[in-house]
Structure 1
Amino acid sequence: MFLLSAVFTVLFCVSYFVFAIGDDPTMVLGLGASNVALGFCLGMALLLIGVGAIQWARKLMGDEEIVEMRHPARSSDEDREEAVASLTEGVEQSGIGRRPLIRNTLLLSTGLLGVPAIIALRDLGPLPGDKLYHTVWRKWMRVVQDVTGTPIKPEDLQVGQLVNAQPDVFYRPFNPKDSDGDDLTAAQAEARGEEPLEVPEGVELQQEKAKAATIVVRMEPSDITPSKGREDWGIDGILAYSKICTHVGCPISLWEQQTHHLLCPCHQSTFDLADNGKVIFGPANRALPQLPLMVDPDGYLVAQSDYTEPVGPSFWERG
């Protein structure tokens, strides 16, 4: 086998010079002869060396186990006592225990060296402020399908269905009604906070859409157990949750219809969407934020408000 390997190595070198390449290459069975020959010869040369070495080890080498006892990893008591004595002597000779001024100023100077590193972190960019606590979702903002941008009506969803959705940031909602049933003016609606914010553009728009990614699911209303204050956050069994896992922010949409469980593909965190997005398995330790839903006069799903808690993974500023 070793001799055959040597032969194939020689054939590799010969093939490199024999077969033409370029504009008029030598062809074999519709393939470039040079590539086929080079690949085959080199592969066989390596394979024969490996197979030969295995056969040598199995059939010719001795199969006798050799054991060598390891010495104890622990030092002897004498060595340990000597090391402690040397350390104690060094501390006494340094005078660090008898000269607190030197000791304390040394600790102060070395401790302050971490401050420049912290200050330099400011150059990573502007602080996020309260951006981590809010998304682009606003009251009366329509829920649309993620890919097509089509507004969603309750009757469009079947029981057990999951839809990836996003906010329609370009939709200007109708004038909501006042207490007498009359249309509000634009100024009145804006004063009540019922107009979307100014639409971002470019990269900022994509960032806002990514942060506001949402899933919409429909279940049997009798299967849902809303927590206090969330009784009117769904429409006939239709609920909306953040698509961003609360562990490290992976997008999730692996939906088990029968159990109402949503699984994260990254680290298998599992959330029960019939029970307020509660974590039932995995490393995530917070429930998925839920988006309150309602229906506008045209029959489309819209948001009651923004998410009531920050979406995405934990961050150190959170209480």
Structure 2
Amino acid sequence: MSINQYNATRAPEVPDRFENPGLEEHLPRLTDVDPAANKRAERIVVLLFTLSILASIGALVGYFALPLDNTVGSVRISTIVLGTGIGLGMLGIGVAAIHWAKALMNNVERVELRHPQRSDDETREVAAQMMVDGVNDAGIARRPVLKGALAGAAALAPLPILVPLVGNLGGDWNVSKFRHTIWGDTPEGTYGTLPDGSKGRRLARDPEDTPIKASDVTIGSVFHVIPQGLTEGQPDYYEEKAKAVALLIRLDPRVLKERPERADWSYDGIVAYSKICTHVGCPVALYEQQTHHLLCPCHQSTFDVADEAKVVFGPAKRPLPQLPIAVDTEGYLVARSDFNEPIGPSFWERLK
């Protein structure tokens, strides 16, 4: 079929321009014609804002009335109360705003032609007046109860988020909190004796809490380790474990790049580093055996295990802290001391 034959079979040509049909006829809502319905809609909006206020207050009360005691149950209950309060608080504001807009605000469509240049003064005055009319249509000025409910809900809604954030972090970001972990402690039954007579906390598999012999660690293998004897139910268990978690890796000793002062921090290619990323504290747990790189899955900070866990890529600004290790007289791996510097994000550096 030729192009001319094809065009002949098409429908009649569509005109270049259509007649402007204009806006659809505006249908008034029940709240526009019935004062009782209007008042009822206003009460519903106030009720939703009030529920938001009560939910926010409930979250704050729960935060202070249900302190954490380092047990799974207390963490679960506190999280449920805070999450429910914050969720209902935000939901109440959102639903109230939607109902306010759909039932009370002016819903008449307006059309304003756009001009490529500055409008004349008369047009600008009309536009400004339209904005004033929009505020008046919202009913804020003539609805003091509604305005008060909105202000109260908006003021209280952020508090269940901000108060726990400030309360939990305000006093902890200091050097001492991050410099000391329980790797430096040697309670009875958790340490091994080195040939020189000194003691060191034994490395144990997480979560089995079984000590690790150097002979158990083959080249390329990775162990998630914690100090032996750290078990659930002990005081500050979660906090201490969060600071002490480490990765134990064995490399070919020939690829290690160690400074002379760190020559006794490893054992026959076995090294241990903090598992907490120095960027924002995510767990660094992805090991690439061929490149000897550790990857943080959160923001892709990459550390070279063969070169003292130095940063080779990503936003982290300092290497992972190293845990000096040795082998005791029974062949078990032990920590010679605590990490060589504070673990985790580098916030502590700003406080020096």
Q: TM-score with structure 1 length normalisation?
A: 0.51
Give the corresponding residue for 1:254.
Answer: 286
Say whether 1:124 aligns with 2:167: yes
Say whether 1:144 aligns with 2:190: no
Give the corresponding residue for 1:291.
Answer: 323
Distance 1:309 1:275 in 2: 17
The CA deviation string for residues 78-123 of structure 1, in whole angstroms up to 9 with x for no partner, is: xxxxxxxxxxxxxxxxxxxxxxxxxxxxxxxxxxxxxxxxxx9998
Say whether 1:307 aligns with 2:351: no
CA contact (8 A) 2:284 2:297 kept: yes
Aligned residue among 210, 213, 224 for 1:164: 224
CA contact (8 A) 2:265 2:323 kept: yes
DSSP 3-state at the match of 1:143: strand
Question: Structure 1 runs of 4+ off > 6 angstroms?
Answer: 120-123
Residues 122 and 281 of structure 1: CA distance in aligned 2, closer, same or farther (over 3 Å): closer
Distance 1:266 1:300 in 2: 33
Give the corresponding residue for 2:116.
Answer: 71
Give the corresponding residue for 1:269.
Answer: 301
Query: What is the CA distance between 1:231 and its match in structure 2?
Result: 1.0
CA contact (8 A) 1:293 1:304 kept: yes
Distance 1:149 1:121 in 2: 32
Say whether 1:279 aligns with 2:311: yes
Distance 1:166 1:121 in 2: 28
Distance 2:305 2:117 in 1: 56
Distance 1:305 1:260 in 2: 24
Query: What is the CA distance between 1:318 and its match in structure 2?
Result: 4.1
Residues 268 and 71 of structure 1: CA distance in aligned 2, closer, same or farther (over 3 Å): same
DSSP 3-state at the match of 1:246: coil
* Percent of pairs with identical residues: 49
Residues 318 and 219 of structure 1: CA distance in aligned 2, closer, same or farther (over 3 Å): farther
Q: Which runs of 5+ in 1 are unaligned?
A: 1-67, 74-119, 171-198
Aligned residue among 168, 172, 180 for 1:134: 180
The CA deviation string for residues 182-204 of structure 1, in whole angstroms up to 9 with x for no partner, is: xxxxxxxxxxxxxxxxx995450
Query: What is the CA distance between 1:161 and its match in structure 2?
Result: 0.8
Aligned residue among 214, 221, 233 for 2:246: 214
Residues 72 and 241 of structure 1: CA distance in aligned 2, closer, same or farther (over 3 Å): farther
1:57-136 matched pairs, under 5 angstroms:
71=116, 124=167, 127-128=171-172, 130-136=176-182
Residues 237 and 124 of structure 1: CA distance in aligned 2, closer, same or farther (over 3 Å): same
Distance 2:320 2:166 in 1: 32
Distance 2:165 2:292 in 1: 43
More helix, by proportion = 2
Distance 2:223 2:337 in 1: 20
Distance 1:258 1:122 in 2: 41
Give the corresponding residue for 1:205.
Answer: 237
CA RMSD of aligned residues (A): 3.1
CA contact (8 A) 1:221 1:236 kept: yes
Give the corresponding residue for 2:96.
Answer: none
Residue 296 of structure 2 aligns with an amino acid whose one-letter code is: C
CA contact (8 A) 1:141 1:169 kept: no
Residues 72 and 268 of structure 1: CA distance in aligned 2, closer, same or farther (over 3 Å): farther
DSSP 3-state at the match of 2:200: coil
Q: TM-score with structure 2 length normalisation?
A: 0.47
Residue 146 of structure 1 aligns with an amino acid whose one-letter code is: D
| Structure of higher CA gyration radius | 1
Distance 1:303 1:283 in 2: 29
Residue 296 of structure 1 aligns with an amino acid whose one-letter code is: D
User: How many residue pairs align between the two structures?
Assistant: 181
Query: What is the CA distance between 1:210 and its match in structure 2?
Result: 1.4
